[in-house]
Structure formats: structure tokens, C-alpha cells
Structure 1
């Protein structure tokens, strides 16, 4: 499942006042956490790096060569490996590389190392600096801008993130999974800046371009439910469930949507599945149990806010 995630996505209008939406934030935080875990396991596929073409394996240099010029791939792989092992060493390596011919790729490595060190605002600036180099192709520029946007979101700067993600999507990009992920990231920035309609438009793009990613469908279903579009919510949560039958967060959300749709039997089955899939003491397990009690007592989950933190 997608990589992962650390930030605030959702504020929803309620009684005329925008309210923070912890559900979508938790789902996105899960994605950022998974991405960082991948970075620790495989230096060639850090959460900030565009994933190589499906089915491509190999060493760091071969993987990076799929998304950067081959002549640079070896140096970048070394820099990223050092950042994974020790962020301070990665920063030094990137800064030394920048003094020679590192250009945008030295800035990219510096941004990654700063992120590994938890210095997300500085990381965003490094990625922004990398994206500003004029000799880059559109896809590389977009990748750097999207990395800047992710770092800004983690730093709690959604307006800055939105500017970076707007810049990424202003480039002529192919209709690929990577482009879909940028739309997904911009959706969370837009919700964080109270642009729900814009977020809906980005999620509509994400479920087309990143259709294989269950999280895109789950987030789309969650936002549709919170915007009172139950038909769309039902459609998209079913897509998420088809792709992630063993995901407790998907089962929990499916139960809520089915309960709101008047399908108590389906909701009960989904909540029971969420109980089975979730860790025993997790928020999801507790919420699923609570909702099952409410269903038995005919108290609908519509009056409760689902505060999910999947995977914890």
C-alpha cells in the first residue's frame, strides 16, 4: 500500500465554521509513516522519491536511474544512503556535492536528509531550491515541487504546501500513478486551507490516476461521506474494499457508510471485520466495538465522529 504520511488534511465546514477533520488526517499520517518506513528499508525508494516502474528491481543506482539521469544516479544513491544511516552525514554529503556539480539533485538529497532529521520546514526549502533550477525537465521539476509540498505539510505549513503542489501540477505531466499521488497530496493541502471543492476535484483525479492505491479510494469515500454524498461514498468505499480486504480502516469506514445508508446488516458485518483485522487495543478496534453496540441499541454512528488512526 502506498507509502506513507505525516500531516493535516482535513477541515470541514460545520455550522458555518471550518472544523479540523481528524479522520482524514490520521489516514494521511498513516501513509506518511509507511513512506518513511520504506525509506528506512530501501534507500533507493525513499518516501520522497518517485517509485520506479512496476516490476523493476535492482540496486540503488538502477532504481534511481529510472527517475534521474543515469550519470547522477550513483552519486544520488550514495547520498541518500548516507542520509538514511545518519542524517547529519547526508546533509554534509549533499552540501559538498552542491559545491561541485550537484545542482538540483544535491538539493534533493539535502532535503531528504533534513527530513530524516525531522527538520521539515528546512527540507521544504531545500526541495524548493532544487525545483528552481532551470535546466530540469518537467517531470523532475514536478517531483521536487511535490517533495517540497509534502515536507511543508509535515511542517504544518499547508498554504506553503499548496503553492508547491500547484507548481508541481502546473507542469505538463504524464497521466501516471505519480501524478495521481500529487493530486492526492494537493487534496489534503486544499482541505487544510478550507477548499473542499478543490479537494474533491483533486481526489476525483487521484482515483483515476492512482486507481490501484486503496488509500485514494478510502480518502475519497471519507470526504464524500463528510460532504453528505452517500452514493459516491458507497461507490468509492467498495472500490477501496475490493483492493484492501484486509485493511481495518477500510472496513471501519465501510461500516459507517453502510450504517448511514440504512444497511444495518452490512454495517454490522463491516464493523465485525474491522474488529477482527485491527490490533486488539487500537482505536479502530474500540470504535468498531462501540459502533456494534450502537447498532444493537439503534443508536446510529451518524452522531459520532470517527477518529481513526489506522495501524496504531
Structure 2
């Protein structure tokens, strides 16, 4: 599966499993390389040596190792690619594809893929309500025996609703995604999908001020998807807001270790790590965390916030001048 979680966000063949297993608030797009990979010649394809030449090493009678070729782009990935170049054109193309695919009388893979592409592009365009409706339509095309795929799309609908400030609606979608239990022993994919739904549920509960329930949802998320850095970032933030700085530090360290390989959550994790360090009286550690955000994503919103914090505490003190007491940074937006 192209999109299945290791994330998550946030999935496509006859339920082209690379279409319907992508979850999370910011679905990550993946497009196979459009360039063909040259296929290495096998023994029978190597021309015989000319008189006097040394036979080529591949003519030893040992078959050459099989070479993987790049998968052909699907219409879904091409749909997203159009949106990458021109968002408005991508939305128009997705709508045209959806209208074409919707003519099928029964649940259909193309219909579901078209609706998911439209939802992802509408979310990028800022139309959270339209994106929510598109993800719900996509979920409606998933066969009854593909519960994880349907739950993933319902989670995407919940994230779209949450992006639009509709926390109650979002909570309903997350609860719906979690309602059906796997018909057999849970697979890693089932757990990843359910873990992402619990993370979304926690975010909605925080927005509704139901913090104890949010904490419980995050505990479930850690159990189901222990390698998802977003869950640990959220639990660190929640602990910091509850003034449990020891727990916050422990959880942000887990988040940072999971996002160490270039995860897009790196800047938010670095920003939160600096806030936790500052509130714990470790100004130097806070400065380093915020400086890492500037280095990692200098044009991001997190970098702008980090720069503001760094301006407040000033440069690191020199050995000849004692450090002045620094005020804690303002509470990040809740």
C-alpha cells in the first residue's frame, strides 16, 4: 500500500489499497517516479562477444538479478499531482473525475478514489466543509469488509471538520471510525488506523474542554500506535498545560525520537520542547530547541513563534556577564 501507515495520515487497486488507507490531518502525498527505470539485460539479451573480445561478465550463465520497475501512476496520484501544480485546476479535475465515476450504480473504487482526491485538494484550498463531505462520500464507496479503510476516511472527515472549528461534528466522525471492532485479530494496519482516530478524538476533546477524556484517548493512541509522534506531541502538550512538566518532558522526548528522520512534525515538536524546557527553568535547552526550529523550517509558522521566544529571552549569556532572569514564553495558542 502506498500510503499505509508507518503515520498518519493520512489510503488506493480494486480498493486499490493505495487509495483508501491514508489518514491524518495533513495527508501526505506520494507519487511514484514518472521516469522509467532502465531494465537490466538478462543473459539471453546480452549480445554475443565479437571475435577476440573477452566475454562479458553477465554471460556466465548466471541470471541477472530481477530489477524492480517503478509502478505506473494511478489516476488518483495523477489527480493529486495536478493539484500540486495548480490547486484550482486540480479541484476542477477531481470534480470532473468524480462526476464521471459517480455514474456507477454500486460502490466503486474509482468513485471512492475521486472523492478522496477531491477532499484532499479542498482541504488544501481551505474548504473544510467541502473536504469533509468528500471524505464521507469516499467512505461510502468502501466495501463492508474493508472496515479499516472506511475508518481511515471517517478519520479524515473528522480532521477536516476539526480544521473548520466544528469540534462536535469531528468527535462524531472519530467515534464512528472507532465504533466497529475488527472482525478478527487486529492487524498493524487496524491498530494504526484506530490509533490515528484516537489522536483526532483527543484533539476534538481538547477543543471542547474535556481534558480528562482527551488524556484517556491519548493513552489508547499510545497503545494502538506507539510509533506515531503526533500522539506523543499532543500528550506532552496536554501534560504541560496541566503543569506536569516531568511527564511533558518524557513525552516530548519520545515524540522527538520518533520524528528524528525528517518527519513534518519536527518543527512543532521542537517548539513545544522549548516551551517545556523554559517552564522547567532550563533556558539553554529552550534556546537550542527553538534555534533548531529556525534551522529546520525557517519559513514555517513555528519558526516565527520560536523567533519571538528567542527575542524575548535574548542571546545566550557570555561567561563574563551573568544571565538575567528570563520570563517564560507566553502560552502557545490552545
Fold shared by both chains (TM-score > 0.5): yes
Alignment pair present for 1:235 and 2:247: no
Q: Is the 8 A contact 1:248 1:284 kept in 2?
A: no
Aligned pair in 2 of structure 1 residues 227, 143: CA closer, same or farther (>3 Å)?
same
Tell me the residue number matched to 1:301.
Answer: 328
* Bigger RCO of structures 1 and 2 (CA < 8 A, at least 6 apart): 1
In the TM superposition, residue 80 of structure 1 has moved relative to its aligned partner by 5.0
In the TM superposition, residue 200 of structure 1 has moved relative to its aligned partner by 1.3
Tell me the residue number matched to 1:71.
Answer: none
Tell me the residue number matched to 2:94.
Answer: 90
CA separation in 2, counterparts of 1:180 and 1:139?
Answer: 11
Q: Secondary structure at the match of 2:226?
A: coil
Tell me the residue number matched to 1:78.
Answer: 75
- The equivalences for 1:1-312 within 5 A come to 2=7, 32=25, 35=27, 38-39=28-29, 42=31, 59=71, 77-79=74-76, 81-82=78-79, 84-85=81-82, 86-101=90-105, 103=107, 105=109, 106-117=111-122, 118=125, 119-132=127-140, 135-137=143-145, 138-173=147-182, 174=186, 176-244=191-259, 247-264=266-283, 266-267=285-286, 269-271=288-290, 273-274=292-293, 277=296, 279=298, 282-291=304-313, 296-301=323-328, 304-307=330-333
In the TM superposition, residue 237 of structure 1 has moved relative to its aligned partner by 1.3
CA-to-aligned-CA distance 1:134-186 (integer Å, 9 cap, x gap): 84222122122112212222333222111111100112143522321121111
Instruction: Give 1 or 2: higher helix fraction.
Output: 1
Tell me the residue number matched to 2:66.
Answer: none
Aligned pair in 2 of structure 1 residues 82, 190: CA closer, same or farther (>3 Å)?
same
Q: Is the 8 A contact 2:227 2:258 kept in 1?
A: yes
Extract unaligned runs of 5+ from structure 2.
1-5, 11-23, 34-68, 83-89, 318-322
Aligned length: 252
Query: What TM-score, normalized by structure 2, do the two folds share?
Result: 0.62
Aligned pair in 2 of structure 1 residues 111, 250: CA closer, same or farther (>3 Å)?
closer
Query: What TM-score, normalized by structure 1, do the two folds share?
Result: 0.66
Q: Secondary structure at the match of 2:202?
A: helix
Extract unaligned runs of 5+ from structure 1.
6-30, 45-56, 62-76
CA separation in 2, counterparts of 1:43 and 1:194?
Answer: 42
Between 1:215-224 and 1:130-139, the stretch displaced more is 130-139
In the TM superposition, residue 301 of structure 1 has moved relative to its aligned partner by 1.0
Aligned pair in 2 of structure 1 residues 186, 294: CA closer, same or farther (>3 Å)?
farther
Q: Is the 8 A contact 1:108 1:127 kept in 2?
A: no
Q: Is the 8 A contact 2:118 2:134 kept in 1?
A: no
In the TM superposition, residue 264 of structure 1 has moved relative to its aligned partner by 4.7
In the TM superposition, residue 4 of structure 1 has moved relative to its aligned partner by 6.8
CA separation in 2, counterparts of 1:150 and 1:103?
Answer: 24
Q: Is the 8 A contact 1:259 1:267 kept in 2?
A: yes
In the TM superposition, residue 225 of structure 1 has moved relative to its aligned partner by 0.3
